[in-house]
Amino acid sequence: MTVTRLAELVAGGGVAVLSGAGLSTESGIPDYRGPTGRARRAEPMTYQRFVGSAQARQRYWARSHVGWRQIGQARPNAGHRAVAELERRGLLAGIVTQNVDGLHQAAGARRVIELHGGLDRVVCLSCRERTPRAELERRLRAANPEWEAAAARINPDGDAVLTDAQVAGFQVVGCAACGGVLKPDVVFFGENVPRPRVDECFALVGGARLLLVLGSSLTVRSGLRFVTKAASLGIPIAIVNQGETGGDADASLTLDAPLGPTLTELTARLPVPAQ
């Protein structure tokens, strides 16, 4: 299938976008299962371990402190900018992203639902106050003035791979307001996406004229459920991804192609609305 056919589908408007980690690889953020992904050698942090163990929190925040250097400095790529341009032209109903990097918004997109939350915020598990990640990073640097560690690998969730020796001695800080435990404002493994957020995503997809999946392998239920919903309602599905996906059987169009160049070409093929 060609970009020409994709442009024909998108031109009708009412498009719900579902984006995954593959959209951010051109910004230097690796994905899990695509061409830049690498198999995890360490188990991901679970919510239960995070809240139940000070040692687990020390490990998480040390690794995330290092990983944030890459995630926090990442900039939107051509794919993010193209999606924002589609929204500017009035073709999108909204965006559901599985990513936690905030790059859709940084590119100028406004109607974005962060399914799994965002790494640019932290939340206190006691008083529930949300504060900017940049503020926490300043406090962590102050608490660890001589601590330095180089990561072997950075994962899409900002989790850097460090050794136990590198983690040792890292000082974790609590909530500045109440002293409680701080957690990134993202959904951990073992934690449920808030039901109102899921319902909002289903409503967006259910009311769309087209579901456009960008850079998601759709191998887990988190994203695949929206494809299944669209298919059950007879809503056309278009998928642009590098490699096969779990939703290919339900799609009316699939493109195995790099996201940035493909989406840039897509916008070039669509008419620019009159001002």
Q: Extract the annotated binding site for NAD(+).
A: 20-40, 98-101, 215-217, 241-243, 259
From 119, 70, 92, select the one nearest 19 (Cα to Cα). 92
Binding residues for Zn(2+): 124, 127, 175, 178
Binding residues: 20-40, 98-101, 124, 127, 175, 178, 215-217, 241-243, 259
Q: Is 116 a catalytic residue?
A: yes
From residue 19, how far is each of 46, 48, 51, 113, 154 by CA, in Å?
A: 23, 27, 29, 10, 20
Instruction: Give the separation between CA 224 and CA 116, rounded to whole angstroms.
Output: 14
Could you say which of 65, 80, 104, 116 is catalytic? 116
Task: Provide the H-helix boundaries in 72-186.
Answer: 78-88, 103-106, 133-143, 164-167
Rounded to the nearest 10 degrees, how much is the dihedral formed by the CA atoms of 254, 218, 106, 4? 0
Q: Which residues contact 81 (CB under 8 A, 6 or more apart)?
A: 107, 108
> Which residue numbers are catalytic?
116
